[in-house]
């Protein structure tokens, strides 16, 4: 999930499935934009099995001969291999302790009090991400825990609108993030605000204010 690195938030349903990861791993992934491997994905419920490319033909044959969901799952598991130990699983206690804090400032303060490698590395990582959008992503994941999938997608539609309309054009955080990472490739985004201390609760909550009524929301018909 690279979104906070480019001034965005976990989209296309990201807030919903991250909110359902074990403990506070969802907040960690949303805020840091860290990648996960197969073992991490399985731990988080984002994948079921790890299927090596060399076994794709075997799985395809088993799939062709199977009937019903249970048979497909059995065929996939028969062809899969162990993904090994999950890094996120090993770090879960540390992740929960830090990313279960109430606010982004509390999370950073908790990390700063911890001298272990994970805390130091995480502080370095989030130091490059958009302070505003890390705060928005934290709020998004926590709201999503009480939403249906359709409700969370409607929330994301509101967020994406506001990301580009609250500050239009080059002033928008995603525009600046994409400029720094993809266009100019200087990897030096000029976030606004540049410090977490300057992100106000009002600025975060403003991103969740819908410009539409429930009836005319673009995803109003989504069940």
The residues with which 50 forms a beta bridge, in sequence order, are: 81
Handedness of CA 37, 40, 45, 47 (dihedral sign): positive
Give the other-Cβ count within 10 Å of 81's Cβ: 12
Please indicate, yes or no, whether residues 52 and 132 belong to a single structural domain of this protein: no
Reading the block at residue 160, the tokens are 């994406």
Task: Tell me what pLDDT residue 155 has.
Answer: 97
Residue 58 belongs to what domain range?
40-79
pLDDT at position 47 is: 86
Output the DSSP codes for 111-156.
Answer: HHT--SHHHHHHHHHHTTS-HHHHHHHHHHHHHHTTS-HHHHHHHH
Residue 211 forms part of a structural domain: no
**What per-residue confidence (pLDDT) applies to 50?**
83
Residues 54 and 94 in one domain: no
End-to-end CA distance of the chain: 26
Which pLDDT value is given to residue 82?
81
Token representation of residue 191 = 């976030």
Q: Is residue 145 part of a domain?
A: yes
Q: What are phi and psi of 199, to 5 degrees?
A: -85, 115
Q: Which residue do the tokens 């206690």 mark?
A: 93
Q: Residue 68 has what pLDDT?
A: 64
Residues of the chain with pLDDT under 50: none
**pTM confidence score:** 0.89
57 and 146 fall within a common domain:
no
Domain count, the chain: 2
User: Is residue 74 domain-resident?
Assistant: yes
Judgement on whether residues 115 and 59 belong to the same structural domain of the protein: no
What pLDDT does 151 receive? 97
Report yes or no on 200 lying in a domain: yes
pLDDT value of residue 72: 66
* Cα 49 from Cα 73, distance rounded (Å): 9
Per DSSP, the three-state class of 51 is: coil
């Amino acid at each position: 999930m690279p979104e906070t690195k480019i001034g965005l938030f976990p989209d296309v349903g990201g807030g919903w499935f991250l909110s359902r990861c074990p403990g506070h791993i969802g907040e960690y992934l949303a805020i840091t934009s860290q990648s996960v491997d197969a073992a991490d994905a399985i731990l988080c419920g984002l994948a079921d099995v790890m299927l090596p490319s060399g076994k794709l033909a075997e799985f395809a044959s088993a799939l062709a001969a199977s009937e019903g969901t249970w048979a497909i799952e059995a065929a996939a598991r028969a062809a899969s291999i162990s993904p090994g130990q999950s890094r996120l699983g090993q770090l879960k206690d540390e992740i929960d302790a830090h990313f279960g804090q109430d606010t982004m400032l509390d999370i950073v303060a908790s990390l700063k009090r911890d001298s272990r490698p994970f805390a130091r590395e995480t502080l370095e990582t989030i130091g490059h991400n958009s302070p505003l959008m890390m705060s928005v992503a934290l709020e998004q994941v926590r709201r999503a825990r009480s939403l249906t999938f359709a409700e969370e997608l409607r929330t994301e539609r509101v967020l994406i609108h506001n990301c580009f309309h609250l500050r239009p054009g080059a002033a928008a955080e995603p525009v600046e993030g994409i400029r720094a990472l993809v266009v100019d490739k200087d990897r030096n985004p000029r976030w606004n605000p540049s410090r977490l201390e300057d992100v106000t609760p009002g600025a975060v909550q403003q991103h969740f204010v819908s410009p539409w009524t429930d009836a005319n929301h673009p995803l109003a018909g989504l069940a």
